[in-house]
Structure 1
Amino acid sequence: MKHIYLFLLFFLLFPVLLNAQGIDVPVSEKAKVNLSGMLQTRFSYSLEKDIDVNGKHHASNEQFSRNSFSVKRARLQANATISDRINAVILVNSGEFTGDPQNKVLENAYIKYGVSDYVNFQFGQFRPQFGQEDNYPVDFVRSIDYSNSYYLFASNSWQSFQIGASYYGEIKNSAIPIKYYVGVFNGNNRNQVGDNDDGKIFPARLVFGLGKNTLLGLSGGAGQNMGQKIWAYGADVDYKHKIDDRWGFELVSEYRQGINSVEYFSQTDPVIPIHRYGMRGVYILPNIGYSFKNLRLKKLEFSFRYEYLDSDFKQAGNARQSYIPMFSASFAENYAIRAQLGVLMDRYQHNIPNSVQYNNNRVICQVQARF
């Protein structure tokens, strides 16, 4: 635990170190606040008579819904620029109130302090950098939603919104531009009063610019959860190519692997050691788009995400393969108004009756507005 306390001590002494070097820390009496929001609604329809809108199988004649309208996300964000180096962000998702809002509504709540391109700090609740999907909000995702492995690794505290601190920067003027991130987080997910143990997780990430169109990301992390050692790692490739003034092509692919501590701790009296609870996933997402000029319709896109995910591949896992073709139309720049139509096709290694681990096909129609 010694390295943890040294890391925290550095953050506590950071303002003192700045003053010792004669660097002014500006303070503004009046912050500039920018408000923005996003509304995302959808209609879901199950193509199977015994599968509900959430993909759960029903073997009996119980009542359930095969089609439904829903509000997936209703986000409001406040971004306050306090000075030329400090800004604070709060993001809430009131769409969570439609279900169980416990530990969910508050998403981003952090403070950023930037010294230069090379030295930046972030404190609070935010996404740790552990993959390409952490780099953009869900309204910019080229598919119907984030990948299944993103949500699995999020439940294990490596992605999505976590509480902690990070240091990051960028080396621009080099043959291969590099972005780097390192952080320390509680490791028990978002909106918690405090940590539930003394263990912390330490994710790190490097992103290399390989030419104009390609980014290579490498992620890794280690830590402790309730006295158990955990780890995870991954790699991703992001490729973009503008074919001409109208056509463009993008490709994102990611691989992740790690310890599934959630599965381990779900056992009443675990006998198998935690390192035998392994999770891994890979997906590939090509996207082709056609842009219009001087029309209300700005862009048409077609994507197809294939994903393989096994949450317990070292034991009796139940591998899931997902096929998601999706068509989208944007009626304003930067997806300010966007309509999407897709099909979610899940195939499991073994069908488990009366569970979500059952082969299913669902149609999703989604509309979003950003403002």
Structure 2
Amino acid sequence: MMNKLYAQLLLLCFPFFLNAQGIDVPVTAKSKINFSGMLQTQFNYSLDDDIDITGRHHTGTERFSHNSFSVKRARIQINAAITDRINAVMLVNFGDFTGNPQNKVLENAYIKYSINDYVNFQFGQFRPQFGQEDNYPVDFVRSIDYSNQYYLFGANSWQSFQIGASYFGEIKNSTVPIKYSIGIFNGNNRNQITDNDDGKIVPARLVFGLGKGTLLGLSGGAGRNMGQKIWAYGADVDYKKQLNEKWNVEFVSEFKQGVNSVAYFEQTDPVIPISRYVMRGVYVQPNVGYSFKNVRLKNLEFAVRYEYLDADFKLAGNSRQSYIPMVSASFAEAYAVRVQLGFMMDRYERNIPNTTQYDANRIICQVQARF
């Protein structure tokens, strides 16, 4: 498996090597290829004596790290405009090699066919439209990372990178502008050779422009996983306003609920119906930005995210509340160079020793560069 993965990455990087040697890589006559990348590094520091940098609690005498530097993401993206209607996109994250790269590394790998604003199709591996956080890459996130809700619903195949097809578009010239999307996906997460069953998931989303910088998003979906019926739904509100030349504000809130099929299939011999394994999450995140005319420092932003998440609230749930105040400084336009400092506070309904379900306090400093 590992040898096959390395071989695939070697083939992907081969054109870069040829170009470095002054060798032209042939492309179709009308193709336009754009390369971009992003590097994101972190320093994590645990403020608790018995909590490591991952948030895991320790009661024994084993040694573990309270602080560490890491490379969280090292991405390279290729965007090829093959014709005026067809694009092909590939995105890989070499930062995944620092851990277990199995079923990781490759993120986006899709072909997009656009006819007009109303009719567009996408095929391959990409993020389904099922929430506000699917609308922007992680380097534009107003906090240290995506929400805990995003990763939980991603593990259940509603968000993050999935394999399938979608139809989407938007109606711009309307009293209430509307963006719409519907797709069908394997439902067993990214980088799988084939689907593991005949079941598929069908997520759909509508986003309404309500005017004055306000967007209302509604998401819903249903499907089957290993013969079991699954579903999820959610709603989100995004508000932006430029107060004056220097100050701007943004407020994002999102709620989601759905079947936690991961928790159900983790049971050796589940006797409780899958419909009883339900996850629920909500978060709010205000953000205030101040722009400078200084050549070096472009803007400062102050944000705080509060999140409530319970992966199994109908049964043996253990709700998690997270508080993440953060300040970030941008030294180039569009977050091309950005430094972030965040304080992550997790509080659980009940602490479970020797697990990550334990109250924790961590400081994270993150530096990113986009090119």
Classify the TM-score, shorter chain: over 0.9
Q: Distance in 1 between matches of 2:255 and 2:210?
A: 19
Cα deviation, residue 31, structure 1? 1.4
Aligned length: 345
Can you list the C-alpha shifts for 1:184-222, whole angstroms capped at 9, x where unaligned?
Answer: 000000000010000000000000000030000000000
- Output aligned runs, 1:167-316, within 5 Å: 167-316=167-316
| 8 Å Cα contact 1:261-1:274 kept in structure 2 | yes
Q: Distance in 2 between matches of 1:345 and 1:281?
A: 17
SS in 2 for 1:334: helix
| 8 Å Cα contact 1:255-1:282 kept in structure 2 | yes
SS in 1 for 2:323: strand
Can you list the C-alpha shifts for 1:83-123, whole angstroms capped at 9, x where unaligned?
Answer: 11000000000000000000010000000000011000000
SS in 2 for 1:209: strand
| 8 Å Cα contact 1:304-1:325 kept in structure 2 | yes
User: Which residue is equivalent to 2:57?
Assistant: 57
User: Which residue is equivalent to 2:348?
Assistant: 348
Cα deviation, residue 294, structure 1? 3.8
- Output aligned runs, 1:31-110, within 5 Å: 31-110=31-110
| 8 Å Cα contact 2:157-2:189 kept in structure 1 | yes
| 8 Å Cα contact 1:28-1:83 kept in structure 2 | no
Q: Distance in 2 between matches of 1:92 and 1:212?
A: 37
Q: Distance in 2 between matches of 1:233 and 1:29?
A: 44
The code of the aligned residue for 2:301 comes to E
| 8 Å Cα contact 2:168-2:181 kept in structure 1 | yes
Cα deviation, residue 143, structure 1? 0.3
Cα deviation, residue 295, structure 1? 2.3
User: Which residue is equivalent to 2:7?
Assistant: none
| 8 Å Cα contact 2:131-2:235 kept in structure 1 | yes
- Output aligned runs, 1:106-121, within 5 Å: 106-121=106-121
| 8 Å Cα contact 1:45-1:53 kept in structure 2 | yes
- Deviation beyond 4 Å, 4+ runs, structure 1: none
User: Which residue is equivalent to 2:12?
Assistant: none
Cα deviation, residue 316, structure 1? 1.4
SS in 2 for 1:280: strand
SS in 1 for 2:150: helix
Q: Distance in 1 between matches of 2:46 and 2:187?
A: 35
Q: Distance in 2 between matches of 1:189 and 1:363?
A: 30
Q: Distance in 2 between matches of 1:30 and 1:210?
A: 39
| 8 Å Cα contact 1:308-1:322 kept in structure 2 | yes
Cα deviation, residue 29, structure 1? 3.6
Cα deviation, residue 173, structure 1? 0.7
SS in 2 for 1:175: coil
Cα deviation, residue 293, structure 1? 1.1
**With structure 2 as the length reference, what TM-score do the two structures score?**
0.92
**With structure 1 as the length reference, what TM-score do the two structures score?**
0.92
Q: Distance in 2 between matches of 1:363 and 1:53?
A: 9
Q: Distance in 1 between matches of 2:335 and 2:226?
A: 42
| 8 Å Cα contact 2:30-2:83 kept in structure 1 | no
Q: Structure 1 regions of 5+ residues with no counterpart? A: 1-26
Answer yes or no: is 1:123 the counterpart of 2:123.
yes
The code of the aligned residue for 2:98 comes to T
Cα deviation, residue 28, structure 1? 5.3
Can you list the C-alpha shifts for 1:117-175, whole angstroms capped at 9, x where unaligned?
Answer: 10000000000000000000000000000000000000000000000000001001110
Q: Distance in 1 between matches of 2:212 and 2:92?
A: 35
Q: Distance in 2 between matches of 1:168 and 1:31?
A: 24
Cα deviation, residue 331, structure 1? 0.2
SS in 2 for 1:229: strand
Cα deviation, residue 238, structure 1? 0.4
- In terms of mean alpha carbon deviation, does 50-59 or 289-298 score higher? 289-298
